[in-house]
Amino acid sequence: MFSFMALGWAWVVVPFVVAALGVILLLRGFRHLGQGSGGRAVGHFAVGTPLTLVGLGVALVALNTQSFARLTHENNVADVSVKALDPAQQTYRVTIHRLDGPDQTLTCDLQGDEWEMSARVQKWKPWANVLGLDTTYTLDQVGNKYYTAERGNGRPITACDLRGPEPLVDQWVPRSWLVWLVGQSYTEQRRFGSAAYMPLADGAQYRVVMTQAGLNAEPENDIARGANAARP
């Protein structure tokens, strides 16, 4: 069955094919130029150059979007469990089990009243949604939070990275180029940050989901529900 995921990767493969055709035309143009056929060389350059540039541009934008997890309506992002390390110092070990891709579990030691998970979200224009570009997101980090700004002033900030290694496309191409290409494609509606937070309590378990409005966290056991209900 043809899926939206297949359609999404078609946005990568088809432009690369177009770019390859453009490169072939450019090579043939250089060959004609070497043979002294200037007119035929110009014709090949005139067609091959835009095909190569446009094909590579569209393919790079598509590769960049594929580095984000696809979101249709609502995705389970992660299960979060909390274990107390030193309750007197408010230090906890937070375990994050990712549910939105390859099986992956991360741990992070936090100090504070609450844990907070953040993500970067991209929303695409309606016509791009029809073509298969659903809302996409990538997790950013998990960090600590206090119930009030007054409680947090002067206390340590603890956080762990959830992004993982950069996508290969970001290693090949300058980030500024990708931002420019996405802007010129007129497919992106807006880009924003989103975060969800819940209390740090020994034995608490939570489920993090991504909705069209952003991240949301839900208590999954009685300890988590009790801690959430007792928040100031």
**Contact predicate 78/96, CB 8 Å:** yes
203 and 123 in one domain?
Answer: yes
Q: Which of 19, 50, 66 represents a domain boundary (last residue)?
A: 66
Instruction: Assess whether 44 and 76 both reside in one domain.
Output: no
178-209 tens-digit pLDDT: 556 555 555 555 678 899 999 999 999 999 99
First CA to last CA across the chain, in angstroms?
50
Residue 164: what pLDDT? 66
The per-residue pLDDT for 11 is 61
66: burial class by Cβ within 10 Å (0-12, 13-18, 19+)?
middle
Task: Give the model's pLDDT for residue 230.
Answer: 93
Q: Which residues contact 165 (CB under 8 A, 6 or more apart)?
A: none
Q: pLDDT category, 100, cuts 50, 70, 90? A: confident
Q: Which residue has the tokens 């150059």?
A: 49
193 with 216, same domain: the answer is yes
- pLDDT given at position 170: 54
pLDDT value of residue 69: 53
Other Cβ atoms within 10 Å of 165 Cβ, number: 7
Where residue 3 falls among pLDDT bands split at 50, 70, 90?
Answer: very low
The separation between CA 155 and the C-alpha centre of its own chain, rounded to angstroms, equals 30
- pLDDT at residue 126 in the model: 57
Number of domains present in the structure of the chain: 2
Give yes or no for residue 97 having a pLDDT over 90.
yes
Looking at residue 2, its pLDDT comes to: 33
**What pLDDT is attached to residue 5?**
42
- The residue segments making up the domain with residue 190 are 71-229
Of 47, 66, 85, the residue at which a domain comes to its end is 66
Q: ∠193-104-222 over CA atoms, to 5°? A: 75
More confident residue, 202 or 129: 202
- What confidence category does residue 43 fall into, taking pLDDT thresholds of 50, 70 and 90? confident
Please tell me the distance from the alpha carbon of residue 152 to that of residue 158, in angstroms, as a whole number.
12
- Residue 82 pLDDT class (50, 70, 90 cuts): very high
More confident residue, 120 or 97: 97
In the chain, how many H helices and how many E strands? 7, 10
Q: Final residue of a domain: which of 66, 88, 117?
A: 66
Half-sphere exposure of 43 (CA within 13 A, CB side): 5
Output b/e per residue, 19-46; b: 16+ Cβ within 10 A: beebeebbebbeebeeeeeeeebeebbe
Q: According to DSSP H, which parts of the chain are helical?
A: 4-34, 38-66, 126-130, 149-152, 168-172, 175-185, 222-229
Domain identity same for 141 and 45: no
- Statement to judge: residues 83 and 170 lie in one domain: yes
Residues 59 and 87 in one domain: no
On whether both 123 and 180 belong to a single domain, the answer is yes
d(CA 25, CA 174): 27
Phi-psi region of 216 (alpha: psi -120 to 50; beta: other; left: phi over 0): beta
Looking at the fold, whether 178 and 217 belong to one and the same domain comes out as yes
Q: What is the pLDDT of residues 130-185, one digit of tens each?
A: 455 556 788 999 999 999 999 989 898 999 999 865 555 455 656 665 556 555 55
Same domain, 88 and 129: yes
Q: Are 18 and 128 contained in the same domain?
A: no
**Which residues, listed in sequence order, are joined to residue 106 by a DSSP beta bridge?**
96
pTM greater than 0.75? no
Distance CA 137, CA 154 (A): 32
Q: Say yes or no: 147 and 224 in one domain.
A: yes
pLDDT of residue 30 exceeding 90, the answer is no
Mean pLDDT of the chain: 79
Residues 31 and 91 in one domain: no
Instruction: Let me know: does 171 contact 164? Beta carbons within 8 Å.
Output: no
